[in-house]
Structure 1
């Protein structure tokens, strides 16, 4: 069978579209113990779920995205081909064994076609692959049994009074967007900080409206994350420390899944992250109810909550 780039791109786009809307069947089989391969040790499928979850995360965030970013920055096709050939096949194979059979199939096509492609074609292929794998991981993240960790809790959390004071120097702009959560029926308005990370904000505006599965951060504190259909590698010079950011802040993290992030309370992580705007002050109070519902959804019930982002 002769591989054709246009057909592989169409296949990837269709898979990404389907994964944007509903949980992929292979992942559902993996997390419910229905895999025909019975992948796992001593009858345990949690072992496979745990390893596949981390491997899918690494594939999206620490392999495909860095490959695409360096390719766009350096335009050295031979280096890109070496990266694909040396890192991708093993992950595609294990993930296919773990239920992601479509990923294994299109992944084999990516590896086979890469040596024949020029710089522009490699960009197209990696862009489509990244979008698809990000969508897969959004479901893997949402459906992971996080509540198994109920027995592994700190005796007491750090009181909020010990956090540094909020520092908010962001100036509102006239570029307004709307965020709506369904089925919660909650809607807020926000502005984009178009002068700070201008190219990223422009790409976000061009992608609107988009609808994404809403998930909750498991490490950073009171933040909501939605994996978007973008594949941005835009420079993001305007960053702030999460620890000091106010409720309502909007951020975007390209490297960890092209995530649109809404902070609804305080966070405890002291990393720097790209800022894209803020929820309007008069709407910030609405976010607490969204945060509580999404935490329960992601951590325990797995009921789907959807975020729609559009221009006002």
Structure 2
């Protein structure tokens, strides 16, 4: 039978069918244009801010480099999910092999964790800039920033690897139909015919520990930052510092509120339809990708000032 492998203890599917939104199969083609348009807007908005940072010499500073990196992660996250989602809408099924499914799962959760890790690095950067402004150039150097980003990537890998590693050892013999638009962890685990209590426990523990630790660190950092900002004697410098903090805090709120609301609803509202769960998953994956460039483009003065110059330069 196609799609089966004979393991040591039981048969297991080696390929799966992603059905997107199972309750909307009759009208699935109507979803192609909205999600494709959303994807194009996400790519364009993030790429525009990244290009602005890259093209302007004055923006070649650690804070703007981190903003550009965060937005590049947004592009990667949207690209990991939306094209496959649109393909599943335009076709009856989207077939995916188990290795590709696990790789997609790793990419999705790695990018979410990496996004949060970059926010921690940005908090450290703002802490040094506002609390130790005179020593900022000698503390936040390019080698240090590169090392911190490397640590953030390694940390994100360590967070995700146990979840994906345990998933790769599961036998999937219940079905080969994933009622989701992507290889989401619990959507795949529902197809298991064995004991997945360890998978559930590790997945939940990793998510809670990661979120709680990040929120504690971010809360401590920004409480010190805001306290230091109010002690700045110059009204202009104080306003600039607080405006920078407000941009980062809005992004943090968007990222964490979307992920936490989806997790809570997924575990509490058991009677909610699968389509609602999938919609919430799309919401927490794509909302930060859409909102982050708008926040930084609108609230970061230096980026906002340089954006019109790019259009003027490109004009006739």
Scaled by the length of structure 2, what TM-score is found?
0.26
Which structure has the larger Rg over C-alpha atoms?
Answer: 2
Structure with higher helix content: 2
Scaled by the length of structure 1, what TM-score is found?
0.26
| Bigger RCO of structures 1 and 2 (CA < 8 A, at least 6 apart) | 2
